[in-house]
A and B are shown apart, each in its own frame.
Chain A
Amino acid sequence: GNSVTQMEGPVTLSEEAFLTINCTYTATGYPSLFWYVQYPGEGLQLLLKATKADDKGSNKGFEATYRKETTSFHLEKGSVQVSDSAVYFCALSEGAGANSKLTFGKGITLSVRP
């Protein structure tokens, strides 16, 4: 079956530091890949996505590239801010359309210090 593996957390960084959150996946077909973010006290929000190999998703300074050869979708940001403190979930969806199930990683908590 499908699975998503995220690096163990939590992660604590100083403001303006470089961020990498690793995510690898196992899927039988060609999934779409997502990063969702959950800010304290809020629901999940889509951060970015990529639907095919070599696609790069980007939003709010975050980027992730769909690497089929390494089955990875690592999240990066060049300079984190305190406001980026949240829980980040990597996920995949296999199948077409909005009815496809999402498989989530365990999530990782990011804390950014001023």
Chain B
Amino acid sequence: GAVVSQHPSWVICKSGTSVKIECRSLDFQATTMFWYRQFPKQSLMLMATSNEGSKATYEQGVEKDKFLINHASLTLSTLTVTSAHPEDSSFYICSAGPITDTQYFGPGTRLTVL
């Protein structure tokens, strides 16, 4: 149980385009999901907390107009990187927790912006 999926697993896009990444909880409902960014050989940085039915809460320094988060249902959250640039290339990871204080992570999405 407690499986989280992400789609796509890898995306390559041109600079200036927008990319949408989906995060789904497959066997549980999640009122809250988290979005992280991971740079090569570095730790995870929390970007935002995605709340079902309300606005996301962004961490300090994260541009909310650039990283649009929508939590459309109890099993789906999306992250849209708008007007992507090469510096946005990274590994984006979502997580969610069903009941306890344990979060379960998606496999991640590797974004490469050319």
Chain A positions within 8 Å of B, measured between CB atoms, are 32, 34, 36, 42-46, 49, 51, 89, 93, 95-107, 109
Contacts and interface: CB of A to CB of B under 8 A. Distances in A.
Interface string B9-45: 0000000000000000000001110100000011110
Contacts of A103: 46
Interface residues of B, number: 26
19 contacts: A34-B102, A43-B6, A43-B107, A45-B105, A51-B101, A95-B101, A96-B101, A97-B97, A98-B32, A98-B100, A99-B31, A101-B46, A102-B44, A103-B46, A105-B43, A106-B42, A106-B43, A107-B42, A107-B43
Q: Sorted from nearest, which 10 A-B pairs have the closest CB atoms?
A: A98-B97, A43-B107, A44-B105, A99-B32, A106-B43, A104-B43, A43-B105, A104-B44, A32-B101, A43-B108
Contacts of B49: 99, 101
